[in-house]
Each structure stands twice: as C-alpha cells, then as structure tokens.
Structure 1
Amino acid sequence: MRRRSLLLSVPAGLVTLAACGNDKADSSKASDSGSPSAAAPSAAPSPKIVSGPLPAITAGTKFGEKPTVAKGSGAPSKDLAVKTVIAGGGRTVAENDYIQANYLGQVWATAKVFDNSYDRRTPLVIQLSRGSIIDGWRYGLVGKKVGSRVEMAVPPTWGYGPQGNTQAGIKGTDTLVFVVDIENSFNAKSSAKGKDVPQNNADLPKVGTNTDGAAPSIDVPKAAAPKNLVAEYVIEGDGPVVKAENSVLVQYKGVLWDTGKEFDSTYKRHALTSFSLQQVVKGWAQGLTGKKVGSRVLIVIPPSLGYGDNPPPNSGIKKDSVLVFSVDILAAM
C-alpha cells in the first residue's frame, strides 16, 4: 500500500475525512454500488481475451452518446470478450493509468442496465489498478487508445465474483456487458495544459511552467508570507470549472514558505492522487474551487486554512507553517 498523501492526513477538526486506507478518494460518483469501481482486490488469474460473442449496440452508436445495447444471445463466453467498436487516435492506456470515461453496464441475460454515467453527465475517473476497479476493466481496457469506444462482456470471475452485487441486482452467475467511451487518460507524467499566465508579483513564489511531467520549480521570495489565501493561475487551462463538491485528480508539489523545503510531492512518488475537495484542508478546497481543469495553480495557505498548530506527524511541517503548493488539475469529477 502506498503511503497516504499528506493532503489526506489532516488532523480531525480541520476537515472532515472520509474513511480511506490510501490516497485515492472515491472518484466514481456512481448512483449505486454497481459502478465498476466497486471492486475488492482480486486473486483471479489473468483472463483469456476473445473477440466475442457481444450483443449489438442498437442506438447511440457514436462516441460519447448513451448507447442502447441488445440482450445477450445464447450463452456468453467464459473468457473476457473485448471489442473496439470505435478506434480512437489518442495515447495508449497502460495499466495503473487513470482513465476518464463514460460507460453503461447491463446484465447479459436480461439487458437490465444497472449503472451508466451518461445520465449523470459526469464521466468516471478511476485508476486501472488492482483493487481500484473490477478486473474485467483492468484487463480489457489496457492497450486501448483514448477516443475509443470499447464493448466488453465480463464473466463473474473478472467482475463481482460468485457473491455478485445484490444492491445493484447483479447475481454471482451474471456476465456483465459494458460499453466504455475512453475520453482521456493520465499517468505520472501528466501535466497541466494551457497558456502561461504572467507571474509579476515579486512578493509571491514563482512556479515553473514546464509541462514535461517533471516537477516544476517553486522559488519562494525573501519576503513576509501573505496572511490570506493566495490561489493564482500559473498555467490557465480551458477545461470545466472545479466546483466545491467535486473530486479532483492532480499532480502537486508542496514546499514550506520559511525554508523552501519540499515536504510532499506526487512527482517524487511517481503517482497521481485523487480526492474530494471536502476531504482536504480548507486552503486546498477554497484555492481549487473556481479554477479550470487543465490548469496549474499556485496556492499559498496560511496556518488558519492549513494545518495550524497540529501538523501531520513526521511530515516536516512545523506548527503554524505557511504552505506553498503548485497544483496541476488534471480532471474533476
């Protein structure tokens, strides 16, 4: 298990923390537990991947449209059936990448839809890693390209197992059919994308504007720290505006105002992180709300909106520290 991000290791009383064992917040916002993200770690063997059988998509056949899928005909394969219905031209998805995707899931034998993100108008953002998502997705989507529509028939072994998912109406014998539109993917090299914004205030830290996946520099001035929250664009993206109730997928680096010393970084861990803005210190929640996806944001957090006099143990953060962050907002959900 990866060590928990400092951003989620916030003392009780500063923010409300969801119960979690690592640095991944629930990013699905699914309507029920039939979401493909609702999966426990699996010991199932790697599946054989076959091309069918798969039921026909009878309506909503374009990428991004909510599909209508026929009932399965005959017995489904006992292997994992995967077909690229529409081939995209974007980057190739790898295991442990995060993907942003719209999807519909239904039961093979009945065509009963148990979950879909199209009606919620909020794509799923999830990591294709063991324990984060059902194995059918983890094996079936790796190697596909962004912009692709993929149809899969997932037997119980690589779905919810013999226990099924009673809350979603899925039996332990049900093969599940998914249509997945892969809108984007992200990995540890992902960065902000947009236009550089002038950093003309000499009293504020200057943040590097490289977008090569390496950690940006943060140069803290020899000046008194601001007493109020600072949240300014370094690179302004053109994505949707982040809302207070959103979860976000980010790259970030944090340093101390007093010393410029780095105390936390996703770049150093080579791992993105996702979390709800209701799970982090107030400075993060307030600083990212209203900013555009795709942006790099400088956030300077005074103690009253950070960790105050109760910083995380062994974090290198002293009491009443002013914190400086560079945050790349990769996705919001």
Structure 2
Amino acid sequence: MIPLALAAALLVAGCGSDAAGLDNVSVKGDKSPTVKVDKGFKATKTTTKVVKEGSGDKITEGDAVTVDYVAVNGRTGKTFDSSFKSGTPLTTTLKSGSVLPGFVKGLKGQKVGSRVLIAIPPKDGFGQANKQLGLKATDTMVFLMDIVKTGTVPEAAEGKANKLPDTLPKLTLDDKKHPAKFVKTDKTEPKADKMSTHVAIQGDGPSIKAGQSLTIQYVGQTYPAGEVFDESWSREPATFQIGAGQLIKCWDKSLVGQKVGSRVVLVCPADVAYGKEGSGDKIKPGDTLIFAVDLLAAF
C-alpha cells in the first residue's frame, strides 16, 4: 500500500545546529533549486543551516511535516532525488522510529516557511547501503528542505461510531482499542465481488482530496477472515499521496472524499487490489482484501 521512492525508503529504517560543514554547500534557484556539494563531503553528526527562515509555527517532534526537498549524495556530489522535479512533496510524522534520526534532529525546532540545509551522517541515516538510492553504507546525505506545512496527528480515529453491516466480518480491537483483525461470524458473506466502503467512525475533519498527503493507521487481511498481511499499529502512522496512482485502485477510489478523523472499512476485490498476480507470499492471485483504515491527517 505504501509507495516506493525516497518517501518509502525514509520510513522506519534527535537538533544539530553546527552548520560549519555546510558553509561550502551552495544553493541556486527558488522554485526549482539546485544544490552543489563538493565530492567527498562527509559529516560526523547531523548539522543544519538555515538558508531562509520562515515565519510559521515551529516544528515539534511528533508533528506531521510536509517538505519539498533536494537530496544529494555527499560522496559523489550528485542529486539522487528531488521532489521539486517529481512534483510530490514528502509528508511524514517527525518521530523517532518513524523516520531517519537525521530528519528528526534536522527539522525539529525549525519554522514553517523555512529553507534549511541538513547534513546527515550514516549513523543518523540508513546505516547501511541503499542500492535503490545509490548510497553506500558510509555515505553522508545532504538535503535542502523547504518546510511547507506542519500539523498534529491524533493517535486514532475520533468521532461518532456507526454500526457496520452484519454481512461484514466483525472488526475486533486490541487492548488499546485499536483495530486488530476481522473475525468471521455466522452472518458474514463468504464472498465479496464488489468494492465497498463502510464508515465505522465518522470524523469531523475536512474531506480528503486527491493529491493530498494522507497520514493513516491501518490493518489489512484477506477476506473474510484470513491472515493479516500488513498493519501499521505496531510501528508508526504511514503517510502517502492519495489519488495519484501510487496505491491500489481500491484505496484511491474509496478514501478520496472521506473525512479526516474517520475510521473506514474497505472491501477490495482483486480487480481493484492485486489482481491475478497477487502480492508477496500472503496475498494470493485473485484474493479479496479487507482493511480498517484510520484517517488521521491530510495535507
């Protein structure tokens, strides 16, 4: 469900201010900036340099943060990713264990509207090679970040609870009252050939729009009460762009228009999920899937 590229690589793998190592890094351009880093650049700790200070709210740990960025490999001096070129900003929850430590250290305390340079050494980065991004285990990363938005993220859906149809498997909760798994009952329909969306908790936030970055908690299993193949509650909230073709069709079609703060149950037949190919070892070809999704924030 979660998209690839840098945003996915950064997820799950504290504020440095000594900017001396970044003095020789130059930035040119505003709407489509370029970052020049000399080959062989290294940092021993996460350091930040404010290129332009914004006037917005200060970022605190645990906030959802949206940034535009340019990412440069210090060893080669070459850019390996840029949201300015892809047109897809990164939104993530700024919390240890959720993103790279260097992101937390570099962004915490900065203001919305700021442009900052952040040098992240291996110990605060991936700590190992990342072939997808062309990084060696010893590479320092340099990021230019424009801080676009920030906001708080609730722990779970909040609002009026609705009774779900008896024909659905029953959604059970864990001891923290978080969705755990679906359980089949005598009234559960054995098959579900059509996509359907059911609001278990009605939130009172704004309606979600295509193209927004959506922060969620979720659990997914094979219908009607098969194996749980993925969940986020044991980790941190997941963030992705909705309605951009990065997710299965069922999610893009069902979540756009829902209200932030809601918990929705999605029934996703194979034609709007993983089709005749399946996915990995747990989702077989032709499987119908069922999800409980808490819609925590949209930016």
With the length of structure 1 as denominator, give the TM-score of the two structures. 0.54
- On the 8 A contact 2:51/2:117 being kept in 1, the answer is no
Residue in 2 that maps onto 1:171: none
| 1:192 counterpart (139, 145, 157) | 157
Q: What secondary structure, in the 3-state scheme, does the structure 2 residue paired with 1:312 have?
A: coil
| 1:322 counterpart (283, 288, 299) | 288
Summarize the Cα distance change of 1:262–1:184 in structure 2 as closer, same or farther, 3 Å threshold: same
Equivalenced residue count is 237
TM-superposed CA distance for 1:254, in Å, is 0.8
Residue in 1 that maps onto 2:226: 260
Residue in 2 that maps onto 1:216: 180
> Sequence identity of aligned pairs in percent?
26
Letter in 1 for 2:43: A
TM-superposed CA distance for 1:157, in Å, is 4.5
Q: Distance in 1 between matches of 2:90 and 2:7?
A: 19
1:10-46 Cα offsets, whole Å, 9 max, x none, are xxxxxxxx762673699xxxx95559xxxxxx96333
- On the 8 A contact 1:248/1:274 being kept in 2, the answer is yes
Letter in 2 for 1:206: K
- On the 8 A contact 1:249/1:272 being kept in 2, the answer is yes
- Higher strand proportion: 2
Summarize the Cα distance change of 1:274–1:178 in structure 2 as closer, same or farther, 3 Å threshold: closer
Q: Distance in 2 between matches of 1:45 and 1:180?
A: 28
Q: What secondary structure, in the 3-state scheme, does the structure 1 residue paired with 2:274 have?
A: coil
Letter in 1 for 2:185: P
Which residues in structure 2 correspond to 1:1-333 (within 5 Å)?
Answer: 7-8=1-2, 20=5, 23=8, 32=31, 44-46=43-45, 93=61, 99-100=64-65, 125-128=91-94, 135=102, 138-142=104-108, 154=116, 157=119, 182-185=150-153, 190-199=155-164, 201-208=165-172, 212=176, 214-222=178-186, 223-224=188-189, 225-268=191-234, 270-276=235-241, 277=243, 278-315=245-282, 317-333=283-299
TM-superposed CA distance for 1:244, in Å, is 3.1
Summarize the Cα distance change of 1:55–1:220 in structure 2 as closer, same or farther, 3 Å threshold: same
Letter in 1 for 2:196: V
1:190-236 Cα offsets, whole Å, 9 max, x none, are 3112221222x211123247794744342333433232111111111
Q: What secondary structure, in the 3-state scheme, does the structure 2 residue paired with 1:227 have?
A: coil
Residue in 2 that maps onto 1:117: none
With the length of structure 2 as denominator, give the TM-score of the two structures. 0.59
Between 1 and 2, higher relative CO (CA 8 Å, sep ≥ 6) is seen in 1
Q: CA RMSD in A?
A: 4.9
Q: Distance in 1 between matches of 2:230 and 2:254?
A: 18
Q: Distance in 2 between matches of 1:154 and 1:22?
A: 18
Q: Distance in 2 between matches of 1:237 and 1:280?
A: 23
Q: What secondary structure, in the 3-state scheme, does the structure 2 residue paired with 1:23 have?
A: helix
Summarize the Cα distance change of 1:25–1:239 in structure 2 as closer, same or farther, 3 Å threshold: farther
Summarize the Cα distance change of 1:20–1:303 in structure 2 as closer, same or farther, 3 Å threshold: same
Q: Distance in 2 between matches of 1:127 and 1:99?
A: 4
